[in-house]
């Protein structure tokens, strides 16, 4: 069973203002790939959410969280 966008947003909103929530799906089958992104306006809010929600369950799914990796790493 896939987590719904609203449920994910509602679960993370207590930690701060959310910019975007995305769940990744296979482009052909539209079946969830089992991961997504919650982007906060503030990095501090994102860190608080990560600490509080890592290894928690939502709708029977275990969350394993990490900060997203930048597309443009600085050197």
Per-residue pLDDT of the chain (75 residues; tens, 9 = 90+): 578 999 999 999 999 999 999 999 999 999 989 999 999 999 999 999 999 999 999 999 999 999 988 776 665
Number of domains the chain is built from? 1
Residue 72 domain-assigned? Answer: no
Residue 68 domain-assigned? Answer: no
Residue 70 domain-assigned? Answer: no
pLDDT at 67: 94
DSSP alpha helix (H) spans, the chain: 5-12, 43-53
Q: Name the residue range of residue 15's domain.
A: 5-62
Q: Give me the residues paired with residue 25 across strands.
A: 32
Q: Indicate the pTM of the whole model.
A: 0.84
Q: Quick one: how far is CA 22 from the chain centroid?
A: 7
pLDDT at 3: 84
How far, in Å, CA of 65 to CA of 54, rounded? 5
Q: Give me the residues paired with residue 37 across strands.
A: 22
pLDDT at 72: 64
Residue 58 · residue 11 · CB < 8 Å: yes
């Amino acid at each position: 069973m896939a987590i719904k966008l609203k449920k994910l947003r509602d679960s993370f909103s207590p930690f701060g203002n959310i910019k975007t929530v995305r769940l990744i799906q296979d482009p052909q089958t539209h079946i969830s790939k089992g991961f997504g992104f919650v982007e906060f306006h503030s990095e501090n809010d994102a860190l608080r959410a990560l600490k509080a929600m890592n290894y928690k369950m939502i709708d029977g799914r275990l969350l394993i969280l990490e900060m997203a990796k930048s597309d443009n790493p600085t050197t």
